[in-house]
Amino acid sequence: MQHHERHFKGGATVRDVVLGMSDGLTVPFALAAGLSGALAQSHLVVTAGLAEVAAGSIAMGLGGYLAARGDAEHYASELERERREISDLPDHEEDEVAEVFAAYGLSREQIMPVIEAFRTRPDQWAEFMMRFELGLDKPDGSRAWKSAVIIAGAYVVGGLFPLAPYMFMADAHRALVVSAGATLAALVVFGWVKASFSGGSPPRSALQTALIGGLAACAAFLLARAFA
């Protein structure tokens, strides 16, 4: 019987969704809540909220793009350095390979076939050192744009939850109560779904996300109200 292992490989995507969605749920809510104390008409809150969602999604997406590009540039720089060291200091690099395997209880004599194989495969040797010496995995070449789009999109989706009540209710003060409930419910669902993808405990993740997101939203709300 053939065995199939199931491992979750979407860590970077989940991280981007979490980053965008968490900010999208809390920041627009704080702005809308703060404005609700000074404005009675919901359409003004919606206008300001949508402007913030647009600006915030662009800023968050750009931040994700620059972070991913920075990771790719760092990897390329370290890979070139490893290739030079393999070419100029092969004995030193062999010692480092031995140190990596020593952490797993293997002696230099036991791994000599591996070292000899690496001598004829410098590119694979460099990639091995990147992963097991430096802990760096080769980044996806299109990761920067994917990260930007995912973070920005998640921010927009998250931002619509706290703003939706203001779109259907004329009284901003009444809409605020519904918005708070919608934001809390969205945080619970978001935490549950996040755990389902990452392999964690859905109830625990839902509670943590609601608690942390709720505290962040309350803090942002109090600041927004203080300066509104």
Is the domain of 151 the same as that of 221?
A: yes
1 or 82, which is more confident? 82
Is the domain of 101 the same as that of 185?
A: no
- Which of 111, 132, 153 is where one domain is finished? 132
Contact residues for 83 (Cβ-Cβ < 8 A; gap 6+): 122, 123, 126
Indicate whether 3 belongs to any domain.
no
What pLDDT does residue 11 have? 67
Indicate whether 35 belongs to any domain.
yes
Q: How much is the average pLDDT of 175-190? A: 85
- Which of 97, 114, 132 is where one domain is finished? 132
What pLDDT does residue 64 have? 87
Indicate whether 85 belongs to any domain.
yes
pLDDT digits (tens, 9 = 90+) for 24-72: 888 888 788 777 766 667 888 888 889 999 999 999 999 888 988 888 8
Other CB atoms closer than 10 Å to residue 47's CB: what's the count?
Answer: 13
Is the domain of 110 the same as that of 182?
A: no
- When divided into structural domains, the chain yields a total of 2
pTM above 0.75, yes or no: no
Enclosing domain of residue 205: 14-70+141-227
- Reading the block at residue 127, the tokens are 């990639």
- Which of 95, 112, 132 is where one domain is finished? 132
Give residue 156's pLDDT band: very low, low, confident or very high (50, 70, 90).
very high
- 77 vs 167: CA distance, rounded Å: 49
Is the domain of 78 the same as that of 108?
A: yes
pLDDT digits (tens, 9 = 90+) for 93-117: 888 888 888 888 888 888 888 888 8
Is the domain of 218 the same as that of 148?
A: yes
Other CB atoms closer than 10 Å to residue 11's CB: what's the count?
Answer: 10
Run of H or E residues at 160: helix 143-168
